[in-house]
Amino acid sequence: MSFYDQLKFDANGLIPAIIQDQQTGRVLMMAWMNRASLEKTLETGKTHFWSRSRQKFWMKGESSGHTQQVKEITFDCDGDTLLVQVEQAGAACHAGYRSCFFRAVSSDAAGFKITEKPLVNPDEVYQKH
3-class SS at 73? strand
**Nearest to residue 27, comparing CAs of 80, 78, 82, 77?**
82
Question: 39 with 15: CB under 8 angstroms?
Answer: no
Residues 30-49 that bind its own copies (CB under 8 A): 30, 42-43
At residue 127, φ and ψ (nearest 5 deg) are -70, 140
From candidates 13, 44, 63, 76, binder to its own copies by CB under 8 A: 76
- Among 3, 12, 36, 62, contact with its own copies (rule: CB under 8 A): 3
Report, in Å, the least distance between residue 65 CB and its own copies: 18
Strand, coil or helix: what is 6? helix
Task: List interacting residues with its own copies (CB under 8 A).
Answer: 1-3, 6, 16, 18, 20, 24-27, 29-30, 42-43, 72-78, 81, 83, 93-95, 97, 100-106, 109-112, 115
